[in-house]
Structure 1
Amino acid sequence: MLYTPIKFRNVELKNRWVMSPMCMYSCENGMANDFHFVHYGSRAQGGTGLIMVEATGVEPQGRITNHCMGIWNDEQAEKLQRITEFVHRNSESKIGIQLAHAGRKGSTWKNIQIPIEEGWETVAPSSIPYHPSERIPHALSADEIKELVQSFKNAAGRAVKAGFDIIEIHGAHGYLIHQFLSPLSNIRTDEYGGSFENRIRFLIEVVDAVNEELNQDTALFVRISGTEYAENGWDLESSVALAKVLKEHAVDLVDVSSGGNIHGAKISVFDGYQVPFAARVRNEASVKTCAVGLITELHQAEEILQQGEADLIFVAREILRNPYLAVQGSFEIGEDCFFPPQYDRAKISS
Structure 2
Amino acid sequence: MAGDDPTSGVDHDAVDLDTPLTIGEVTLPNRLYRAPLLECAGTGAGAVDALIEDLEPAAASGAGLLCQGATIVRPEGGCAAPQMTRVCDPAFVSRLSRLTDVVHDHGARIAIQLEHGGLRAMETWHAEYREANPDLRQLAVSRPPRLLRLLDRVGFLDYDAHVLSTDEVYELAVDFGRSAGYAVDAGYDVLHLAGANMGIVHQFLSPFYNRRDDEFGDGVRFLEVVHDEIRSRAGDVPIMTKVPAETEAPPIVRRRLTTDDAVTICRRLAEIGYDALVPVNGSTFWDASIVKGAYPERAWADDRFQSGYRAAFGSRWRAKLVALGNWIEAQAYSFDPAWNADLCRRVRDVVDVPVLCEGGIRERGEMDDLLGDAADAVGMARPFYAEPRLPARLLDDSAAGTRAVCESCNNCAVPQATGEAGVCRTPGVLAEAGRLRKAGAYDRETGSQDEEVSDGRGERGTGRGASDDDRQDP
State if a TM-score over 0.5 links the two structures. Answer: yes
Q: Tell me what 1:88 maps to.
A: 104
For 2:138 and 2:375, locate their aligned partners in 1 and report how far apart those are by CA, in whole Å.
35
Give 1:6-85 correspondences, 5 Å limit. 6-28=21-43, 32-60=47-75, 61-85=77-101
Q: Tell me what 2:385 maps to.
A: 320
Quote how far apart the aligned CAs of 1:115 are: 4.6
Q: Is the CA contact (8 Å cut-off) linking 1:126 and 1:185 kept in structure 2?
A: yes
Alignment length (residue pairs): 336
For 1:17 and 1:51, locate their aligned partners in 2 and report how far apart those are by CA, in whole Å.
9
For 1:66 and 1:331, locate their aligned partners in 2 and report how far apart those are by CA, in whole Å.
37
Distance 1:100 1:228, change over 3 A: farther
For 1:166 and 1:17, locate their aligned partners in 2 and report how far apart those are by CA, in whole Å.
15
For 1:344 and 1:186, locate their aligned partners in 2 and report how far apart those are by CA, in whole Å.
47
Q: Tell me what 1:341 maps to.
A: 447
The one of 149, 158, 169 aligned to 2:182: 158
Amino acid at match of 1:227: E
For 2:245 and 2:73, locate their aligned partners in 1 and report how far apart those are by CA, in whole Å.
23
Quote how far apart the aligned CAs of 1:204 are: 1.4
Distance 1:55 1:334, change over 3 A: closer
Match status 1:138 vs 2:162: yes
For 1:163 and 1:293, locate their aligned partners in 2 and report how far apart those are by CA, in whole Å.
27
Distance 1:343 1:28, change over 3 A: closer
Q: Is the CA contact (8 Å cut-off) linking 1:228 and 1:262 kept in structure 2?
A: no
Quote how far apart the aligned CAs of 1:329 are: 2.1
Q: Tell me what 1:276 maps to.
A: 342
Q: Is the CA contact (8 Å cut-off) linking 2:62 and 2:395 kept in structure 1?
A: no
Q: Is the CA contact (8 Å cut-off) linking 1:29 and 1:67 kept in structure 2?
A: no
Match status 1:188 vs 2:212: yes
Q: Tell me what 1:293 maps to.
A: 359
Q: Tell me what 1:106 maps to.
A: 121
Quote how far apart the aligned CAs of 1:30 are: 9.9
Amino acid at match of 1:277: L
Distance 1:215 1:146, change over 3 A: closer
Match status 1:253 vs 2:253: no
For 1:117 and 1:259, locate their aligned partners in 2 and report how far apart those are by CA, in whole Å.
30
For 1:185 and 1:31, locate their aligned partners in 2 and report how far apart those are by CA, in whole Å.
37
Q: Is the CA contact (8 Å cut-off) linking 1:95 and 1:165 kept in structure 2?
A: yes
Q: Tell me what 1:2 maps to.
A: 17
Tell me which of the two structures has the higher relative contact order, counting C-alpha pairs closer than 8 angstroms and 6 or more residues apart.
2
Q: Is the CA contact (8 Å cut-off) linking 1:20 and 1:316 kept in structure 2?
A: yes
Q: Is the CA contact (8 Å cut-off) linking 1:18 and 1:50 kept in structure 2?
A: yes
Quote how far apart the aligned CAs of 1:62 are: 2.6
- 5+ residue gaps, structure 1: 346-350
For 1:28 and 1:73, locate their aligned partners in 2 and report how far apart those are by CA, in whole Å.
10
Quote how far apart the aligned CAs of 1:341 are: 2.5
Match status 1:234 vs 2:234: no
Quote how far apart the aligned CAs of 1:74 are: 1.2
Secondary structure of 1:7's counterpart equals: strand
Match status 1:302 vs 2:383: no
Secondary structure of 1:213's counterpart equals: helix
Amino acid at match of 1:122: Q
Q: Tell me what 1:329 maps to.
A: 394
For 2:165 and 2:369, locate their aligned partners in 1 and report how far apart those are by CA, in whole Å.
46
Quote how far apart the aligned CAs of 1:118 are: 2.3
Q: Is the CA contact (8 Å cut-off) linking 2:197 and 2:286 kept in structure 1?
A: no
Quote how far apart the aligned CAs of 1:8 are: 1.4
For 2:45 and 2:367, locate their aligned partners in 1 and report how far apart those are by CA, in whole Å.
34
Quote how far apart the aligned CAs of 1:228 are: 4.5
Secondary structure of 2:17's counterpart equals: coil
For 1:169 and 1:41, locate their aligned partners in 2 and report how far apart those are by CA, in whole Å.
22
Amino acid at match of 1:329: L
RMSD: 2.5
**Which of the two has greater helix per residue?**
2
The one of 138, 141, 152 aligned to 1:122: 138
Q: Is the CA contact (8 Å cut-off) linking 2:37 and 2:68 kept in structure 1?
A: yes
Secondary structure of 1:284's counterpart equals: coil
For 1:290 and 1:30, locate their aligned partners in 2 and report how far apart those are by CA, in whole Å.
33
1:236-268 deviations in whole A, cap 9, x for unaligned?
111111111111121111111222433667545
Q: Tell me what 2:3 maps to.
A: none
The one of 169, 172, 193 aligned to 2:193: 169
- 5+ residue gaps, structure 2: 1-15, 290-331, 401-442, 452-474
Quote how far apart the aligned CAs of 1:112 are: 4.0
Identity %: 26
Secondary structure of 1:212's counterpart equals: helix
1:65-105 deviations in whole A, cap 9, x for unaligned?
3410110011220231110011112x010011001111110
Q: Tell me what 1:348 maps to.
A: none
Amino acid at match of 2:56: G
Amino acid at match of 2:273: A
Quote how far apart the aligned CAs of 1:141 are: 1.0
Quote how far apart the aligned CAs of 1:209 are: 1.2
Quote how far apart the aligned CAs of 1:287 are: 3.5
**Which of the two has greater strand per residue?**
1
Q: Is the CA contact (8 Å cut-off) linking 1:30 and 1:71 kept in structure 2?
A: no
Amino acid at match of 2:446: P
Which is greater in Rg? 2
- Out of 45-54 and 261-270, give the one that drifted further: 261-270
Q: Tell me what 2:410 maps to.
A: none
Quote how far apart the aligned CAs of 1:107 are: 1.7
Q: Tell me what 1:203 maps to.
A: 223
Quote how far apart the aligned CAs of 1:161 are: 0.1
Quote how far apart the aligned CAs of 1:338 are: 7.0
For 2:375 and 2:74, locate their aligned partners in 1 and report how far apart those are by CA, in whole Å.
32
For 1:281 and 1:30, locate their aligned partners in 2 and report how far apart those are by CA, in whole Å.
42
> TM-score, length-normalised on structure 1?
0.88
